[in-house]
Amino acid sequence: MKFVKLLAMNLGAAALALGGWLAGPAVDAAPPQGDQYGTIKGRLVWGGTEIPKPAPLDLSKVKGDDAKVCMAKPLVSRDLQVDAKSKGVKEIFVYLNSPKGKNPEAEKELVARTPKVEVDQKNCEFVPYATAMHKNQAIVFKSSDAVGHNVHYTGFQNNKNFAVPAKATVEEKMVKDLVPVPLRCDIHPWMSAWIMVFDHPFFAVTKEDGSFEITGVPAGTQSLVVHSGDHGFITPNAKRGLSVVVKPGGVTDVGTIVLDPSKIKEKP
């Protein structure tokens, strides 16, 4: 009886070995998604010794109901917004130019989390000043003001002009554009802002301290671009940007990117 049991065990082991040989070599499970992607972070700071002061906007010709709304607070130019404490430059676009690789899950999650982005017209300003969005997101133009506005944007691929009544909203779809799209209100000509529309999820807008973070980036060498709607490309090599090697499953810190004051365009 012992001999029979031993023989059965040996035959079973042989069968398992034979099955493994027929099936070929063992294949490792696919790595988790996080190991294929990484994060890029950094900070954009002003390179001058003195913090630039935003120029006040001239609203002296505004009358009637518009004056009550538009002069509720002092309005200043927002083309260059530098934080006095950190020297961070805010509301500047940061993105990958011609990303090498895709991340369909990140793209899907972005649109599911925020199916619509919003641009408000409040106290006769566009808020926010810089809006980055995916082409599959809708954009809602809103007026919190008690006076009417209009929205007029003129990009290479996006061109439209329409009214936004007081306390109303208008929803639009936009397509990928090559550069930041200028946004204006023709009724109140000092009102301006920027929109940038992407066909990938690898973009950000700098925060108050100039910091930015782009997650879910395919590992490998990527081209990182920092772009101001008002002042053009900030990173070297223009739209080719800064070469960044993204660590799989980790964070790649590009450190401090300095905005050279000599590259700031003078307003006409």
136 is a domain residue: yes
Q: What are phi and psi of 77, to 5 degrees?
A: -65, 140
Report how far residue 5's alpha carbon sits from residue 11's, in angstroms, rounded to the nearest whole number. Answer: 10
pLDDT digits (tens, 9 = 90+) for 224-239: 999 999 999 999 887 7
**Residue 231, domain CATH:** 2.60.40.420
Place of tokens 């000043």: 129
11 is a domain residue: no
27 is a domain residue: no
Please check whether residue 70 is in contact with residue 63, taking contact to mean a CB–CB distance below 8 angstroms. no
Report how far residue 170's alpha carbon sits from residue 158's, in angstroms, rounded to the nearest whole number. Answer: 16
- Number of domains forming the structure of the chain: 1
Statement: the pTM of the whole predicted model exceeds 0.75: yes
How does residue 17 score in pLDDT terms, banded at 50, 70 and 90? very low
22 is a domain residue: no
Q: What are phi and psi of 148, to 5 degrees?
A: -75, 150
pLDDT digits (tens, 9 = 90+) for 87-112: 999 999 999 999 999 999 999 999 99
pLDDT digits (tens, 9 = 90+) for 252-261: 999 999 999 9
Question: What is the residue range of 79's domain?
Answer: 33-263
47 is a domain residue: yes
4 is a domain residue: no
Does residue 74 have a cis bond before it (omega within 30 degrees)? no
Secondary structure string (H, E, C) spanning the chain: CHHHHHHHHHHHHHHHHHHHHHHCCCCCCCCCHHHHEEEEEEEEEECCCCCCCCCECCCCCCCHHHHHHHCCCCCECCCCCECCCCCEECCCEEEECCCCCCCHHHHHHHHHHCCEEEEEEECCEEECCEEEEECCCEEEEEECCCCCEEEEEECCCCEEEEEECCCCEEEEECCCCCCCEEEECCCCCCCEEEEEEECCCCEEECCCCCEEEEEEEECEEEEEEEEECCCEECCCCHHHCEEEEECCCCEEEEEEEEECHHHCCCCC
CA 111 to chain centre: 13
Specify the pLDDT at position 201. 98
Q: Which of 144, 139, 148 is nearest to 167 (CA)?
A: 144
17 is a domain residue: no
What's the number of CA atoms in the CB half-sphere (13 Å) around residue 204? 22
Average pLDDT for 138-153: 96
Place of tokens 């017209």: 121
28 is a domain residue: no
